[in-house]
A and B are shown apart, each in its own frame.
Chain A
Amino acid sequence: QKEVEQNSGPLSVPEGAIASLNCTYSDRGSQSFFWYRQYSGKSPELIMSIYSNGDKEDGRFTAQLNKASQYVSLLIRDSQPSDSATYLCAVSVIDAGGTSYGKLTFGQGTILTVHP
């Protein structure tokens, strides 16, 4: 069983719609959770981080975490064609207390396409 699982997609949504991306993880010791956006040929870019159960909103992005269900999601509202990318879910077993989050375990990524 993979440690971090995502639907590989592709997920296609019309411009202006809500895109919903999901991720499950197997290690109950995971403390920190991240969503990255990666354009082709580029490094991942951090979009959201979340550490406690519930929702966290930042602009058009909302991350949701449910540790009991070992589930984390990302909602993108008012999706734009520029949001078309691969979205990577990552987890770390190190909490936010230190300066380093240690190694990250990534899911396989979900390809999102936003069409005009």
Chain B
Amino acid sequence: GAVVSQHPSWVICKSGTSVKIECRSLDFQATTMFWYRQFPKQSLMLMATSNEGSKATYEQGVEKDKFLINHASLTLSTLTVTSAHPEDSSFYICSDGVPAFFGQGTRLTVV
């Protein structure tokens, strides 16, 4: 497994804008990475599985056109929240699939 670095740790954006979150697996070539979302007082819910070199797999109820995932290399996956709205405000966390390693999380606030 590898240390997972996520950036930024927090971001505030205006409604209607897009935000990109990066997730890097620092010393492990991750062909698959996972994106979770956590609303306040709730647990982590898997949003999508990012697959290197192919399309991401989205969980039921997650809009693939809104949450764009790109896994262009074995160490980097990105999640772009397009046309963000206040209801997208949440804590987004990535993982390289090894249970011990989650990114630090990104707190997104849409105003």
Chain A interface residues (CB < 8 Å from chain B) = 32, 34, 41-44, 46, 49, 88, 90, 92, 99-109
Task: Count residues on chain B whose CB falls below 8 Å from chain A CBs.
Answer: 23
Q: How far is the CA of A109 from the CA of B1 in the complex (A)?
A: 25
Cβ contact within 8 Å between A103 and B46: yes
Give the number of A-B contacts (CB < 8 Å): 52
Cβ contact within 8 Å between A43 and B104: yes
Which 10 A-B pairs give the minimum distances between C-beta atoms? Answer: A100-B97, A43-B102, A46-B100, A106-B43, A43-B105, A108-B43, A106-B44, A103-B46, A34-B99, A109-B43
Q: How far is the CA of A100 from the CA of B98 in the complex (A)?
A: 5
Give the dominant DSSP class at A's interface.
loop
Q: How far is the CA of A109 from the CA of B98 in the complex (A)?
A: 20
Cβ contact within 8 Å between B43 and A88: yes
Cβ contact within 8 Å between A43 and B45: no
Contact digits for B80-111, partner A, Cβ 8 Å, 1 yes 0 no: 00000000000101011111101111010000
B67 within 8 A of A: no
With contacts A106-B45, A108-B42 taken as known, whether A101 is within 8 angstroms of B107 at the C-beta atoms is no
With contacts A34-B99, A44-B44, A88-B44 taken as known, whether A103 is within 8 angstroms of B34 at the C-beta atoms is yes
Cβ contact within 8 Å between B99 and A104: yes
B18 within 8 A of A: no
How far apart are A107's CB and chain B's nearest CB, in angstroms?
6
B32 within 8 A of A: yes
Cβ contact within 8 Å between A43 and B93: yes
On chain B, the residues within 8 Å of A46 by CB distance are 99-100
B49 within 8 A of A: yes
Chain B stretch 44-60: residues in CB contact (< 8 A) with chain A: 44-46, 49
On chain A, the residues within 8 Å of B104 by CB distance are 42-43
Closest chain B residue, CB of each to CB of A44: B102
On chain A, the residues within 8 Å of B49 by CB distance are 103
On chain B, the residues within 8 Å of A88 by CB distance are 43-44
On chain A, the residues within 8 Å of B32 by CB distance are 100, 102
Q: How far is the CA of A29 from the CA of B97 in the complex (A)?
A: 18
How far apart are A39's CB and chain B's nearest CB, in angstroms?
11
